[in-house]
Amino acid sequence: MVPIAYPRVRGCVEVDIALSKKHRRRRAGRLAIVVAADGVRMLVSVTGGTGFVGSHSVAAVIAAGHRVRLLARDPRAVPEVLRPLGVDPAVVEVIAGAATDAGRVAELVRGADAVLHAAAVYSFDRRRREEMRSTNVIATETVLGAARRAGVGRIVHVSSFAALDGAVLDENSAVSRSSEAYAASKAAAEVIAREHGAVISYPPALLGPHDPRLGDQTARLLATLRGLMPIWPTGGFPLGDVRDTAAMHAHLLTGGPARCFGPGRFVSTRDYLRTLREVTGRRLPAVFLPAAALVPVGLAADALQRVWPWPIPVQGGAIRTCREAQRVPSSGPARPLAETMADAVRWLRDAGRAA
């Protein structure tokens, strides 16, 4: 088993957030509650706790000494997801239900000191558009609205840099108007989170060990190891380690700024593949082409994916991200990319998914 270490995050990039007077008053009241509870064992209610970001965040919150109440569609999945992270499932209270179920969500947030809303679908697969709308948008309104009505002291919403727009991305950036399914759903959720005055985190793309659902980034890493990614677009994207983002979430539940970018760095596609070659010792031959030239290929792959039953490793959204992604702030030092990749590859091998 790969040892899981969740570093202590001393703080995020401090930014003076322009908030309405109503939200300033609401936030000031919540922060007073959180500061009073600092150093006390809190009850933290979590959505998305059986996913990649959510499960690691649960482990980091428990490592920080807090109790966790988890909402899960399938409670039977909780032990197999949390045990590899060193979490005893017996210490986690589990409520069966979906994040769109108002009744179950009300039960989840009742009596909680803080809420971490990490439930989301991260995918560039257009076939999942409705799933993204339900989980990324409807669930956000359901959970944040319930937490606010219940008087929860600290509400943290996990967003994405894809939800933001502007020549330079930072915590004051406008909300994106992208038509791409994932970005559009996260932008809609961003509007909801800002309206509710939630603390918002912006993780980069994430890798690391123990991805229970083999999410988009881990699946792309695996496809590369299997030789299914011989052509890459130029450009790059922000990338970080899921364990560093989890530690940030544990910190944000007790303090920190209103909006915070997760630890990470901008990684070019060439550096991504070079690092993977170094940690695996494999050649992994590939050709790099201008991202703009590959956009039509991505559109064609997206169209084919609508009728093709198996996942296609080429996705229009990923190509556009590599073409348009910018360098974004980081909440602090991130662990080396080589370490993140090595741990992710080791876990894939141990899980029997990669040779």
What dihedral angle (degrees, nearest 10) is formed by the CA atoms of 344, 346, 347, 353? 100
Q: What is the pLDDT of residue 12?
A: 57
Q: Tens of pLDDT along 170-220?
A: 888 999 998 888 889 999 999 999 999 999 999 999 999 999 999 989 999
Answer yes or no: is pLDDT of 26 > 50. no
Q: Tens of pLDDT along 105-132?
A: 999 999 999 999 999 988 777 778 788 8
Query: Higher pLDDT residue, 169 or 160?
Result: 160
Q: Which residues contact 52 (CB under 8 A, 6 or more apart)?
A: 206, 208, 210, 211, 212, 213, 215, 218, 242
CA distance linking residue 273 with residue 32, whole number of Å: 47
Average pLDDT in the chain = 87
CA distances from 130 to 41, 94, 216, 316 (A): 38, 26, 17, 18
Answer yes or no: is pLDDT of 25 > 50. no
Q: Tens of pLDDT along 144-163?
A: 999 999 999 999 999 998 89
pTM listed for this prediction: 0.86
CA distances from 243 to 191, 254, 340 (A): 27, 18, 9
- Please name each of the domains of the chain with its CATH number: 21-206+239-264 (3.40.50.720)
Q: Tens of pLDDT along 183-197?
A: 899 999 999 999 999
